[in-house]
Every structure is written in structure tokens, then in C-alpha cells.
Amino acid sequence: MFFRKPAPTGAVDFIIVGLGNPGKKYEGTRHNAGFMVLETIADTTGTRVNRAKFKSLCGEAVIGGKKVLLLMPQTFMNHSGEAVREALAFYKLPPERCLIVCDDITLPVGTIRIRRKGSDGGQRGVRSIITLCGSEQFPRIKVGVGQKPHPDYDLAAWVLSRFPESDKVPMRDAVKHAADAAELIVQDSIEAAMNRFSK
């Protein structure tokens, strides 16, 4: 569990990036699973993610005694790398200290998968980050939002659709598990997070 503590002095130790699209129009859509997780982390740590910087909304949390920047890019999904590149450069952090949380249409609703690094897997926000930052070394939490109903279904329409009632409980659980996994990853316990939560 997270514990609320006064913000420590010193520089940011870690960045958690939740991917999504800004604006009321996109709230609750499959593509905004990363935003959902980040908002859960913010709520649990008592952090306001409302400061405009790095083409994002951001706020500083304390997780496991570390100062962590919570980042919600406002660039729209396909340009997420612009925000991440600026934040990494400002804090002089390597990609290994920047956790990306995003949706994954290849995973069943309610599951999460954790990776130390790797390719974008077809997720365009992650692709933008890898391209603009020049590295695949970002740890990531992928939240399953379900596959398209059939191969011909429009991908954009699917990821921008909302969850039916039947998916809301498993999604709520997945978002909480992803937030708990993020806490472990920040504390250099990615192996424990993978063993406990990754499917």
C-alpha cells in the first residue's frame, strides 16, 4: 500500500507516465487506461496532478520514500514521446527510471503485463516515446483492454470506445493492481511486481 508522507527534498528519483488522450471526450475509453492508473496512484498518495509542465499535467508524489513525478502527457497519445523526452532531459534520468503505463488490446480485459523493456508492441504512444527518446529500455505496465470484436473492426474506433458494464469490475481491479505494481517497480522490485501481477 501507498503511504502519504511529506515530499522529500532533492531531485525526482523516478517518473511514472500514464498514457491517454486529454479531454472529457476521451475519459473512460480503452486508450485511457494509463490515465486511469495514474489517477489511482495520485488519489492513493494524495497527489494533485495539475501542474502544467513538459506538455503534461504533473505532480510529485512520495512512493517508498522516493520522490516520483506523476506525468499525464497532454499531447494526445501518438505524440506522447514529446512529453517524456522533455521530462527525462530536465531531470537527467535514464529510461530505466521512467515507468510507462498504457493500454494493450492484445490482452484480455482485467489483466496486466509487466515488461522491463522492449518494442512498442503496436502501441503508438509507446512508439512515440521509443522513437523520440531513442531507447527501448523503459519498464512498462500494460493494462489489457480486450481485443477487437473481429479483425475488420476499426482500430481507432475500438481503442476510443468505452467499456461495457460487464468489463467495469475487472478493469477496476486491473487498474488497482497496476497501481500496486508501479509502487513495487519504483522501489526496484520489478521482479516481485512481475511475479505477483503479470499475466
Strand order in the sheet with 112-115: 51-53, 56-63, 66-73, 14-18, 98-104, 140-144, 112-115
The domains located in the chain, with CATH, are 14-197 (3.40.50.1470)
The single residue of 31, 79, 150, 177 carrying the catalytic annotation is 31
> Quick one: which of 139, 140, 145 has its CA closest to 104?
145
- Distance, CA of 146 to CA of 172 (rounded, Å): 14
- Distance, CA of 78 to CA of 175 (rounded, Å): 22
pLDDT in tens, 122-169: 899 999 999 999 999 999 999 999 998 888 898 888 889 899 999 999
Residue 3 is predicted with a pLDDT of: 47
> Quick one: which of 73, 64, 65 has its CA closest to 100?
73
How many C-beta atoms surround the C-beta of residue 121 within 10 A? 15
Q: Count Cβ atoms within 10 A of the Cβ of residue 47 and give its class: 0-12 exposed, 13-18 middle, 19 or more buried.
A: buried
pLDDT in tens, 10-29: 689 999 999 999 999 999 99
Is 177 a catalytic site residue? no
pLDDT in tens, 79-106: 999 999 999 999 999 999 999 999 999 9
